[in-house]
Amino acid sequence: MNWTSEYNKKLVSADEAVKVVKSGDWIEYGFGTTAANELDKALAKRKDELWDVKIRADLGVWPHYTLDADPTGEHFCWNSWHFSGLDRKYYKEGLMYYIPMKFHELPKMLRNDAEPNNVFMATVSPMDKHGYFSFGIAAPSNMAAIEKADYVILEVNENMPRVLGGNQECVHISMVDYVVESSNPPLPTIKATEPSDAEKKIAEHIINRMYDGCCVQLGIGGIPNAIGSLVAESDLRDLGVHTEMYVDAYLKMTKAGKITGKYKSIDKYKQVFSFALGSQELYDFIDDNPGVASYSVDYT
């Protein structure tokens, strides 16, 4: 099979792709950085043609064009599984709804419990020679949403890292209805939070309870950053990684030679995560790196 030929048959403009959306539809956006930025912008142009389109998203880090175009919520109603700082701002203004859930249950909810999404849109890396697009730095629940969608639309961004598996970290062109090539905007980044004195003290207590070969799961904020710095300067060795969120603290520990995964009972020698959010240096490290593996969040 010539996957490039298949790709070219499905290649359209963003304006053309979003024509599949109709009033009353549910649209699922890719998680976090994989939300479809330019497709959302194209959809916003259709505001006056559409009513009661429900958008579900997570951890918003791109601009919300459809929401900004329709602050009444009559045309586009935004819902979030997982608030970011930007999402909380919209929520406080009464412009976004929150959907309670346990993060590891999100794939199950999309497959079995939530209102099925009619359309799925996501940002992905360029297609490889085998016909696969990588979800890059965010693969928590994208495949679950694809399984339920009537239409799958992918927005290719050359800046999205190609992240190796793992499981459910990529999608094949045969499962895609339309492909849109974006203008390749830089991916959103976040600056590492400088830990406070109290957070540094907490990190010291945690470090004292860590041991050679233990497996590390960190999140976002001052404490994880303090832990990463302290581990990098410590005598700890052969640490493993199995985490939902992959942050710059792991990069710091890896550069210091503290992470090998040698003693992990599963995914030995691999740093396993579900999504990453941090610096461009972190994204560059993840790109095409066989030492890291991305999985659906029900695994991590």
The reply to whether 284 falls in a domain is no
Residue 232 sits in a domain whose CATH number is 3.30.750.70
Phi first, then psi, for residue 173 (nearest 5°) are: -55, -30
- Give catalytic residue positions: 244
Do 15 and 43 touch, CB atoms closer than 8 A? no
The reply to whether 265 falls in a domain is yes
pLDDT digits over 194-219, tens only?
A: 888 898 899 899 999 999 999 999 98
| Sheet with 240-242, edge to edge strand ranges | 165-167, 292-295, 271-273, 240-242, 215-216
Rounded distance between C-alpha atoms, residue 174 and residue 3, angstroms: 9
Give yes or no: residues 146 and 201 share one domain.
Answer: no
Give yes or no: residues 90 and 169 share one domain.
Answer: yes
pTM exceeds cut of 0.85: yes
Write down the pLDDT at residue 1: 74
Phi first, then psi, for residue 233 (nearest 5°) are: -95, 0
Rounded distance between C-alpha atoms, residue 198 and residue 261, angstroms: 30
DSSP 8-state symbol, 138: B
Give yes or no: residues 123 and 225 share one domain.
Answer: no
Name the nearest CA neighbour of 177 among 33, 30, 11.
Answer: 11
Q: Please, which residues bridge with residue 271 across strands?
A: 241, 292
Tell me the percentage of the chain whose pLDDT exceeds 90.
Answer: 87
Write down the pLDDT at residue 169: 96
Structure tokens at 221: 């904020």
pLDDT digits over 58-72, tens only?
A: 999 999 999 999 988
Task: Note down the domain range covering 11.
Answer: 3-181
Write down the pLDDT at residue 170: 97
Rounded distance between C-alpha atoms, residue 54 and residue 189, angstroms: 27
Phi first, then psi, for residue 154 (nearest 5°) are: -110, 140
Rounded distance between C-alpha atoms, residue 250 and residue 228, angstroms: 7
For residue 106, what is the enclosing H or E element?
A: helix 106-108
The reply to whether 295 falls in a domain is no
DSSP 8-state symbol, 272: E
Write down the pLDDT at residue 69: 95
Q: Mapping DSSP to helix (H, G, I), strand (E, B) and coil, where does residue 201 land? A: helix
The reply to whether 296 falls in a domain is no
For residue 198, what is the enclosing H or E element?
A: helix 197-207
Give yes or no: residues 168 and 239 share one domain.
Answer: no
Residue 73 sits in a domain whose CATH number is 3.40.1080.10
